[in-house]
Amino acid sequence: MTPAARISAAIEVLGDIETRRRPATDALKDWGLSHRFAGSKDRAAIASLVYDGLRRKASAASIMGENTPRAVVLGMLRLQRGLTVNAIAALCSGERFAPEPLTATEREKLEVATLDGAPAPVAGDFPEWIEASLTRLFGEDVVPELQALTTRAPLDLRVNTLKVSSREEAHNALPHLGAVETPLSLLGLRIMPGEDGRGPAVQSEPEFIKGWIEIQDEGSQLAALISNVKPNEQVVDLCAGGGGKTLALAAMMENHGQLYATDSDARRLAPIHDRLTRAGVRNVQVRTPRGGADAVSDLNGKIDCVLVDAPCTGVGTWRRNPDAKWRLRPGSLEVRVKEQATVLDRAAALVKPGGRIVYITCSILPEENDDAVEGFLSRSKGFSALPASEALARAGLGRLTDLVRFTKSGLQMTPLKTGTDGFFVSVLVKG
């Protein structure tokens, strides 16, 4: 396919997402099934155009003065990809499979293309209804913070110290990936996405299959490190899901002590078994919930650290899932907030005196972060929030102090400040 034909395809897919209100992955999959001639490079390039369009949907529509899929793609090519008006015009030739030529108005709009004076939800590409929440956290930095969430995320790897002795060893074994060391996690390697937004097929690498590396955002690695779990502790990963954090905790515990991994959704937990085997983990008991029974009721009052990687809106991962931002509704935020209260209350009963809950979300909305923690502290006697600077110091992560945003009861990482997904962490100590 020509670059111009890929742009036509991206406009078509964005139209499908809009009219049928469906996730981008479904629309892209259907497009691929009905255009079997398109090769994998074409499909990746089209997906990348669609995701960039979603990343800049509000700002692109604003500079073009209309909200059509074509306007979004044209505006995105200018704003996100930095194409000149002539380069965009050359792609829109009107020839076979290419988009129609630019109108005089489109040309004019693309030439001016400024976001000066645009309201924050337009300049920062986010839904208007969360502006007040974001302002509570970011104050005057809402636009730069949210603009950083419109960029493409790198592919981060965590080196598994249960299988290799150092980050260097894994790095040296994988020179062809072009990875660099992550600046904040000493276990991380980072691969920048290619022009078409694609990364290498890491999961096919022999080192991945041997368990030397896992795919994990640097922010997620840091959140696990802040828990400061140690060998020989008793630890529960209460929302273990597919086990991303469980694996990181097990490596920190050097396979000593006991780590219980559970989740209210048995299906989400299913992949953890293969992952634990591949990673060489021997100290994890997976507790699969059965028939609604509490899978960790025997552990009440016995646990040193309960990790609550809470269900959340995922606003902090919008770099990776840009269509999620336009599907977020106040009702879904409310549901997540209720789930967060439930899971925090469950965690509280597990903790022994002197133990801790480490509460994590991949969100930047205060309702899911400080408010959830403050609500918990007002309901539960005996817990207090450890100052986040102290939590960093205890975990040997003092280097984060000048980068993270400290909040009332925790700390916030963001793409702008830490170059990671938007993770929130709060450590709640039982006196």
Ligand X SMILES: C[S@@+](CC[C@H](N)C(=O)[O-])C[C@H]1O[C@@H](n2cnc3c(N)ncnc32)[C@H](O)[C@@H]1O
Give 26 or 265: the residue with its C-beta nearer to ligand X: 265
**Closest to 245 (Cα-Cα) out of 232, 263, 233, 264:** 263
What residues contact 144, with CB distance under 8 A and at least 6 apart?
Answer: 416
Q: For residue 176, how far is the Cα from the chain centroid?
A: 26
Please give the order of strands across the beta sheet that includes 213-215.
180-181, 188-191, 155-159, 213-215
**Min. distance of Cβ 220 from ligand X in angstroms?**
6
**Min. distance of Cβ 288 from ligand X in angstroms?**
12
Q: By CB under 6 A, is residue 342 in contact with ligand X?
A: yes
Sequence letter at residue 200: P
Q: By CB under 6 A, is residue 372 in contact with ligand X?
A: no
Give 8 or 216: the residue with its C-beta nearer to ligand X: 216
Give 196 or 339: the residue with its C-beta nearer to ligand X: 339
Select the residue interacting with ligand X from 110, 143, 238, 333 (CB under 6 A): 238
Select the residue interacting with ligand X from 42, 125, 156, 263 (CB under 6 A): 263
The annotation status of 263 as a binding-site residue, yes or no, is yes
**Min. distance of Cβ 58 from ligand X in angstroms?**
26
Buried b (16+ CB within 10 A) or exposed e, 121-130: bbbbbbeeeb
Q: By CB under 6 A, is residue 240 in contact with ligand X?
A: yes
Q: By CB under 6 A, is residue 239 in contact with ligand X?
A: yes
Distance CA 424, CA 291 (A): 32
Q: By CB under 6 A, is residue 323 in contact with ligand X?
A: no
Active site residues: 362
H/E run at residue 304: strand 303-309
Mark 391-430 with x for binding to ligand X (rule: CB under 6 A) and - for no binding.
----------------------------------------
Q: By CB under 6 A, is residue 53 in contact with ligand X?
A: no
Helix (H, G, I), strand (E, B) or coil at 306: strand
**Min. distance of Cβ 261 from ligand X in angstroms?**
9
Give me the helices (H) in 285-369, please.
Answer: 322-327, 330-350
Select the residue interacting with ligand X from 255, 264, 300, 389 (CB under 6 A): 264
Helix (H, G, I), strand (E, B) or coil at 59: helix
Give 182 or 246: the residue with its C-beta nearer to ligand X: 246
Asked whether the beta carbons of 351 and 430 are under 8 A apart, the reply is yes
What residues contact 36, with CB distance under 8 A and at least 6 apart?
Answer: none
**Min. distance of Cβ 264 from ligand X in angstroms?**
4
> Integer distance in angstroms from the first to the last C-alpha of the chain?
64
Give 254 or 265: the residue with its C-beta nearer to ligand X: 265
Of 138-146, 207-215, 336-344, 416-424, which segment contacts ligand X by CB under 6 A?
A: 336-344
**Min. distance of Cβ 77 from ligand X in angstroms?**
34
Q: By CB under 6 A, is residue 288 in contact with ligand X?
A: no
**Residue 285: beta bridge partners?**
260
**Closest to 319 (Cα-Cα) out of 192, 227, 181, 428:** 192
Select the residue interacting with ligand X from 265, 274, 345, 390 (CB under 6 A): 265
**Closest to 296 (Cα-Cα) out of 256, 267, 260, 254:** 260
Angle formed at CA 378 by CA 374 and CA 383, multiple of 5 degrees? 85
Q: By CB under 6 A, is residue 245 in contact with ligand X?
A: yes
Q: By CB under 6 A, is residue 343 in contact with ligand X?
A: yes
Asked whether the beta carbons of 156 and 214 are under 8 A apart, the reply is no
Select the residue interacting with ligand X from 154, 241, 322, 422 (CB under 6 A): 241
**Min. distance of Cβ 276 from ligand X in angstroms?**
12
- Total residue length of the chain: 431
What residues contact 212, with CB distance under 8 A and at least 6 apart?
Answer: 159, 160, 163, 164, 170, 173
In the complex, which residue's CB is closest to ligand X? Answer: 244
The annotation status of 309 as a binding-site residue, yes or no, is yes
Of 111-119, 151-159, 188-196, 262-270, which segment contacts ligand X by CB under 6 A?
A: 262-270
Task: Kindly identify the residues of this chain, within the stretch 189-208, that bind ligand X according to CB under 6 A.
Answer: none
Q: By CB under 6 A, is residue 311 in contact with ligand X?
A: yes
Asked whether the beta carbons of 238 and 306 are under 8 A apart, the reply is yes
Q: Which residues sit in the known binding site?
A: 263, 309
Q: Rule CB under 6 A: which residues touch ligand X?
A: 238-245, 263-265, 268, 309, 311, 339, 342-343
